Structure 1
Amino acid sequence: MNLILLYTSDFTDDKTVVINDRRFHHIRSIHQPEPGETLKVGLLDGNRGTGEVLSLCDKEITLKVALNQPAPEALPLKLILALPRPKMMKRTLQTIAAMGVKEIYLINSYRVDKSYWSSPLLQPDKIREQLVLGLEQAGDTVMPEVHLRKRFKPFVEDELPAISQNTRALVAHPYHANPCPAASAEPSTLAIGPEGGFIAYEVEKLKECGFNAIHIGERILRVENAVPVLLARLFPL
């Protein structure tokens, strides 16, 4: 946890917070601060800053906070991601949040098993939990938005054209694709398929929406690895 993420419910007045949950146990066991020391803090969807330790006991910590630094700049990206396998979704969501993506669409695909959509990990509180871990890791405060779309064709035909309008639209595809373009800060929409990639029909539907197929080399990566590699290649991080 490289940043203690604060919530409005933590504040007892304008500058004082009391923390007594998971964050407190992490602070006490890992940071082990003394009164007068400062920690890096940030208000969810707000500024970052410092928290001076006023007191620390067995049940809670009290901080005096100064929030005067903006959140890191977000990636200019809308990410379209075929729903990952549940056991890799946690780490994938954490990575996406840590790298600064703020708009995510989890979509269906032919190679996405139907059972994935009934995973308890798709509950809003479970998704939020993983995103928070990613924000804490990266020192970010702005919560990404996650949209679930269970039907591929209606999403691509009815929503995707407006989502990707006026952006660099790319679909990661390991076959019959162009090399990954150079890093750029221009607004982009990136579609990443499931394990095994999008099927040919899905790639064609994406191309009809103006997406260009790209690859990152001969090696076929798992989704949890492909996501950070693609973002690092496409944007000047």
Structure 2
Amino acid sequence: MNLILLAPEEIHHDRLACLRDPRRLRHLKEVHRARVGDVLTLGVAGGGIGRGELMLLSDDEARFTLDGLDTPPPPPLPVHLVLALPRPRMLARSLEHVTAMGVKQITLLHTRRVEKSYWQSPELAPEKIHHHLVLGLEQARDTVMPEVNLTKGFRPFVDGRLPELLTQRRGLLAHPGMPRSCPRGIDEPCVLLVGPEGGFIPHEVERLLAAGCEGIHLGPRILRVETAVTALLARLF
């Protein structure tokens, strides 16, 4: 935890922060090995970042006095990530990784090679998704929560939502065998589409290309989803 992320309701009178949840208390004790008087980095969800002095640390509560929360969070990446729903364990890691890298708009999409059982996973519960997003923000010292949308229909997405997204964004379809190498260092908003393990089926590729997406690849190696997404984002931005 490189940032202690506070909810607005945990801040009192603009100068005092109180947190009581077991996860952050345990992290303060076991990882930070925090002691009264230590000064740590804190941020408020949706707001700024600053420093706070630890005034109390017990089994039930930690209290900080705040020295301003006026440093802005790092800038977001100008990308809307459309990710075919990964298997649950991979989903958790992927959400944390892309959040840490600065992705703020995520669509989890059903495609032919996505197992239908994945949509019943407990990892898709709102509180679970929120937990992984928070871990990504804490890692990156960020405070702005990404927006995650669940989309179970491939055809309605391609026919309805995707054209809207592409009106002001460049569409990039990452898929093995595409004619172009992934571009480097782009400075324009984009929609990045990444398939499941096994990739998009040919019909899906055809539909996405026909909708206006450009096909790109990362070379001849086949990567795991969380590795591919991280590599794509790092190369694009």
Task: Quickly name the TM-score band, shorter chain normalised.
Answer: over 0.9
- Counterpart of 2:175? 173
Question: Is 2:102 aligned against 1:100?
Answer: yes
- Counterpart of 2:151? 149
Deviation at 1:61, TM superposition (A): 1.4
Shifted more, 60-69 versus 189-198: the winner is: 60-69
Question: Is 2:53 aligned against 1:52?
Answer: yes
Q: Measure the CA separation in 2 of the matches of 1:164 and 1:118.
A: 30
Question: Is 2:4 aligned against 1:4?
Answer: yes
Deviation at 1:33, TM superposition (A): 2.5
Output the TM-score relative to the length of structure 2.
Answer: 0.96
Q: Measure the CA separation in 1 of the matches of 2:13 and 2:178.
A: 59
Counterpart amino acid of residue 77 in structure 2: L
Q: Measure the CA separation in 2 of the matches of 1:44 and 1:160.
A: 29
Cα deviation 1:106-155 (Å, max 9, x = unaligned): 00101001111111111111111111111111111100000010010111
- Counterpart of 1:125? 127
Q: Measure the CA separation in 1 of the matches of 2:131 and 2:35.
A: 28
Counterpart amino acid of residue 24 in structure 2: R
SS in 1 for 2:70: strand
Identity %: 50
Deviation at 1:57, TM superposition (A): 2.6
Cα RMSD (Å):
1.1
Cα deviation 1:182-214 (Å, max 9, x = unaligned): 211211110000001111111111111110000
Output the TM-score relative to the length of structure 1.
Answer: 0.96
- Counterpart of 1:26? 27
Question: Is 2:95 aligned against 1:89?
Answer: no
Q: Measure the CA separation in 2 of the matches of 1:62 and 1:166.
A: 45
SS in 2 for 1:69: coil
Question: Is 2:42 aligned against 1:41?
Answer: yes
Q: Measure the CA separation in 1 of the matches of 2:70 and 2:93.
A: 30
Q: Measure the CA separation in 2 of the matches of 1:139 and 1:92.
A: 18
Gaps of 5+ in 1: none
On the 8 A contact 2:25/2:59 being kept in 1, the answer is no
Counterpart amino acid of residue 14 in structure 1: D
Gaps of 5+ in 2: none
